[in-house]
Amino acid sequence: MNLVWTKCEGAQWCPFLTLNLQHPYFNGFDGVYIIWHGQPNPAVVYVGQGNIRERITEHRQNQAILAYQIHGLYVTCAKVDVQYRNGIERFLADTWNPKVGDNHPQATPIAVNSPW
């Protein structure tokens, strides 16, 4: 499945802590998302699904995720219909082995394109 991964203005990756989640773009935005850090060795910190505004707002309070902010945290998301989300989250978790969170759906993975 080919997803359209979100970037911020100027085709830049969105900063996790300052992304304006109140922007109308996020009204009713449900799908999957990836939180990652940049330097020195980029790595996926968390993958998940749901209402993007709500989930990212919650994660901004998660100390396990915030522990990586020294490396620069970023987020991208893609709109996905609910019937595909469990399989896509499973694929993303299996592919990227996130540093935080291990309670991913026990679903048949659905392969998607990487945001990078």
Spans of all domains in the chain? 9-96
Query: Which of the four CATH numbers 1.10.1060, 1.10.287, 3.40.1440, 3.90.1570 does domain 9-96 have?
Result: 3.40.1440
The model carries a pTM of: 0.96
Cα pseudo-dihedral 58, 97, 82, 115, rounded to 10? 90
> For the segment 31-64, what is each residue's pLDDT rounded down to a tens digit?
999 999 988 889 999 999 999 999 999 999 999 9
**For 92-108, what is each residue's pLDDT tens digit?**
999 999 999 988 899 99
Question: Any idea of the CA torsion for 24, 38, 17, 54, to the nearest 10 degrees?
Answer: 60
